[in-house]
Amino acid sequence: MIELRTAGEIDEMQAAGDFVASTLQALKARAAVGVSLLELDAFAHDLIRKRGAESCYLDYTPSFGSGPFGYVLCTSVNDAVLHGKPRPYRLENGDLLSLDFATNVNGWVADSAISMVVGDARAEDLELIALTERALDAGIAAAVVGNKIGDISHAIGTVAHEAGLTVNLDFGGHGVGRTMHGDPSVPNNGRPGRGFPLKPGLVIAIEPWFMRGTDELKMDPDGWTLRSADGSRTAHSEHTIAITEDGPITLTRSVR
């Protein structure tokens, strides 16, 4: 069911957006060569406890995962793009790291993701990250009253296609509110003028994620981590936004 939020409720959601954004920035500053994915998760967990927030991931058991996720942070490295389960792996120079983080603060959820290079960066990795960020900006720009979900999807997909990339539609954006994943679905490619009409009070996560050489995924034995089927590099960017009469509000706005 698609739910619309009042202006007062959107104001209340800002606390969750601010916390998610500040946590991702703290994690970005902490990610360095030699730091393990488990250390990043533990750091995020500590920030959640100090804030009095609740993790959306810890006990999450969706149909696409294998059992409870068990951690508070998704850590995807290089060819991993989504749902990367933290592990003892220590970051190496040049690793492309994507972090996805969602928490509940005072009953409201915000969800965001960033990608970065640890240490020395390859030009093509920076370009891929920039593509997801540009697609995210395009999707947000299309999230205005009078448009439809398909207009957001088309804006994202256009950025990908102009760069010569294909787009996987197995996972994409989604409604956000009292829970992390709700209606409507926001695919990363689509036809303009199609789908649910965008109305004031709709709160959604828009999340372009691209793979350099394929649009097919494979799953790790951990039952969660999704990688590009051909081993090519990947990147992921995400913001939670609220649609209003005056334009979209990016609740996780301080993320980059």
Known binding site for a divalent metal cation: residues? 100, 111, 174, 207, 238
Is the bond preceding residue 197 a cis peptide, omega within 30 degrees?
no
Q: Which two tokens stand for residue 186?
A: 């926001």
Amino acid at 120: D
Burial of 197 (0-12, 13-18, 19+ CB in 10 A): exposed
CA dist., res. 186 & res. 175, Å (int): 8
Say if residues 67 and 206 touch (Cβ distance below 8 Å).
Answer: no
User: Which run of H or E residues covers position 83?
Assistant: none
CA dist., res. 62 & res. 154, Å (int): 27
Q: Residues comprising the binding site?
A: 83, 100, 111, 174, 181, 207, 238
CA dist., res. 43 & res. 234, Å (int): 24
CA dist., res. 223 & res. 214, Å (int): 21
Amino acid at 168: N
Length of the chain: 256
CA dist., res. 40 & res. 90, Å (int): 10
Q: Which of 247, 246, 243, 238 is nearest to 20 (CA)?
A: 238
